[in-house]
Amino acid sequence: MFNPKNKIIARGAEAVLYVEDGKLIKERISKGYRVKELDNKLRKIRTKSEAKLLDRAKDANVPRVFKVSDKDMKISMEYIDGELVKNIIDELSDTNLRLLCMDIGKQIANLHSVSVVHGDLTTSNMILRGNEVYLIDLGLGFVSDRTEDRAVDLRLLRQALESKHYKIGKDAFEYILQGYSENYKNAEEVITRLKEKVEKRGRYKRKTKR
């Protein structure tokens, strides 16, 4: 059970994150509107699933998992002490933006190389520690070998950049694709699918405006 003395890092719809003994604890909270048995089952499945994804993706920059408890619905993991990318990316020089975004692309490539799809790639789920980017919060992630799923992962990031960081979003995404291409052997296939999806979305938008 959460100790009120612990420092809360974030509180979301599904979980509360706090620091305990230098480690980050992600505790999935009970939902009063769900039947208790179903609520416990869902929280247990999601806790175990996220921990397995983090362990599978250990060659990428993601938090290391120390302990998992599907009884308390907690994951104890490495606390990544750094800056949220969303808070700094708009103020970077072009050189630093390129370096940052190429590393983001590299880390996404590392995930995709082991068949992990993040599911929620935004600058809110990236932390810059030193000169390296860490991807966090794989709560919506899953295992997949489908090119389509990897392309959707990148498309969601593109949309997030265009929406939240529109001044630098286009350049940032091009740098990300560069880093991705240099570190993932099937990048060309994924990027081709991504472009098809973006073009299809553009045609749909134009059609609905008529």
CA angle (32 as vertex; 30, 38 as ends), nearest 5: 70
- Name the nearest CA neighbour of 60 among 152, 180, 158, 192: 180
Closest CA to 85 of 158, 17, 146, 136: 136
Task: Give which of 61, 60, 95, 100 is closest to 80, Cα–Cα.
Answer: 61
Q: How many CB atoms lie within 10 A of CB 185?
A: 10
Task: Compute the half-sphere exposure of residue 203: CA atoms within 13 Å on the CB side of its CA.
Answer: 6
Give yes or no: 120 in active site: yes
SS3 89: helix
Beta bridge partners of 15: 28
Catalytic residue among 103, 120, 137, 153: 120
The identity of residue 29, as a single letter, is: I
In a 3-state reduction of DSSP, which class is residue 169? Answer: helix
- 166 residue type, one letter: Y
Nearest to 191 by CA among 174, 209, 176, 177: 177
Where in the sequence numbering do the catalytic residues fall? 120
